[in-house]
Copies of this chain bind each other. A is one copy, B any other.
Amino acid sequence: MSRKTFHLNAFLMGVGHHEAAWRHPRTDAHRVLDVRQFQNLARIAERGKLDSVFFADTLAVGPRIERNTLAVFEPVTLLSAIATATERIGLIATASTSYNEPFNLARKFASLDHISAGRAGWNIVTSGSVDEAYNFGLDAIPEHARRYERAEEFVDVAVALWDSWESEAIVLDTEAGIFADPSRVHTLDYAGERFRVRGPLNSPRGPQGRPLLVQAGSSESGKEFAAHRAEAVFTAQRTVEDGVRFYRDLKSRLAKYGRAEHELKVLPGLVPFIADTVEEAKALEQEFTDLISPDYALRQLSSMLGVDLTAHALDAPLPPLPAESEIQGGKSRFTLVKELAETEDLTVRQLIGKLGGGRGHRTFAGTPEQVADELQTWFEAGAADGFNIMPPYLPGGLEDFVDRVVPILQERGLFRADYESTTLRGHYGLDPVESQFAPRDSRVSA
């Protein structure tokens, strides 16, 4: 393929991203408790040659237990079970920098990278809900800026831990009696503001050197952090214009960290409803929207905005909202929702319907060709290096995408016909991670 191609991640959640997915006859709610369901979904995505699957996580059930089908599996243990049921597809898990120790987190992703032979990715989050804070001895969400400061230091430590074993450290010399060469395994003696970690990590350098670093914050601090550290970014963008603006903004921040544009892939989300005709696709979407229970959706909206709307009239517009600067939770989603309601002049009920598909991510209903066109448009407009596909219901929504949209993308030369790499980093077209101990002449040049 000489043409520039894009990347595809499948964001898998419960029985699908749509607010009412699990009430729809196309899903089977019992499967959210069954690891085989998730192994099967990853195999479907692998059949489509997708770059990766992704599992989100939060560290609290949150205010909507009735709907929180996320609250079953811890994503790294889940991906470990998926790793052995798949061969090539990348495996991305969320983990929090606010409520973990860098040593433990670096260890578990190193372990996943070994188990999967180089397919681990980490979606770095700072955990913006107060319910999470309560589970870790705190009375409030740590301040937004402080969370990102901790994230910076946390990633410093984790990266240093992953880089503490030289590639040649494992010698396995049975004759001389040496498993690993201690002169090639190094302490870090890291001493920062928040962490002191001696190292080395208790796991040899992984097949990828380190996991793919993914990030999904879109606030000012979030974008700066992504520009510094992330290799892939998930983002919610409503229009192609917004997408282009975000894309240019993020890429323009890379140079000051000595990074090239291709070193960070921007992946806007899309929730596709796919059917034979556009009418059927829209009817399908409507079926799901009709199943939304307004009271649950109001709580979802309240939690996204950090403002209690549960007593608010459904057929009125949103009440006046605080400025983004006052928000300590997720800033960018707050602003996206606020702007959506304002620019389209929506009542709360209308807003709930619009958000039902993907909590602020772009929803699109159409034929396989139209979905392919939509992705191509965003890609060619410079709004995306690839897409975060968020099936509204599972497994059907993923199957339709893989079996009906992917072949069109392949046909058009926009997506790989087969895997060309064995690692997640390789799928995303990233250079191998160079060891700090690599001999000068063998280093990959940037």
Contact = CB atoms under 8 A, between A and B. Distances in A.
A101 interface: yes
Nearest to A135: B103
Given A81-B115, A103-B59, A178 B137 contact: no
B111 A73 contact: yes
A314 interface: no
A64 B211 CA distance: 26
A203 B67 contact: no
Q: Which of A99, A103, A202 has the most CB of B within 10 A?
A: A202
Contacts of A112: 77
Interface string A171-195: 0101101111110010000000001
B61 A200 contact: yes
Nearest to A197: B135
A35 interface: yes
Interface residues of A, number: 73
Contacts of A32: 179
A421 to B, nearest CB: 20
Given A77-B80, A114-B72, A61 B202 contact: yes
Interface stretch (A22-30, A217-225, A349-357, A397-405): A22-30
B197 A137 contact: yes
A59 B161 CA distance: 13
A201 B317 CA distance: 35
Copies, count: 2
Given A30-B172, A178-B66, A198 B76 contact: no
Contact of A181 (B66, B195, B291): B66
A108 to B, nearest CB: 5
A238 interface: no
A84 B35 contact: yes
B202 A66 contact: no
A427 B199 CA distance: 39
A363 interface: no
Contact of A84 (B81, B110, B172): B81
Contacts of A35: 83-84, 114-115
A85 interface: yes
A293 to B, nearest CB: 5
Contacts of A111: 72-74, 77-78
A136 interface: yes
A134 interface: yes
A255 interface: no
Interface in A45-91: 58-62, 65-74, 76-78, 80-81, 83-85
Given A179-B68, A180-B68, A73 B115 contact: yes
A410 interface: no
A39 interface: yes
A192 to B, nearest CB: 10
A248 interface: no
Contact of A134 (B84, B174, B198, B204): B198
B135 A74 contact: no
Contacts of A195: 137
Nearest to A30: B172
Nearest to A194: B137
B22 A174 contact: yes
A88 to B, nearest CB: 16
A196 to B, nearest CB: 4
B137 A203 contact: no
A135 B203 contact: no
Contact of A177 (B61, B100, B135, B296): B296
Contacts of A136: 101, 103, 197
* Candidate in A114, A115, A136 with the most chain B CB atoms within 10 angstroms: A115
Interface of A: 20, 22-23, 29-30, 32-33, 35, 39, 58-62, 65-74, 76-78, 80-81, 83-85, 99-101, 103-104, 107-108, 110-112, 114-115, 131, 134-137, 170, 172, 174-175, 177-182, 185, 195-204, 291, 293, 296
| Shortest Cβ-Cβ A-B pairs, 3 listed | A134-B198, A74-B111, A80-B80
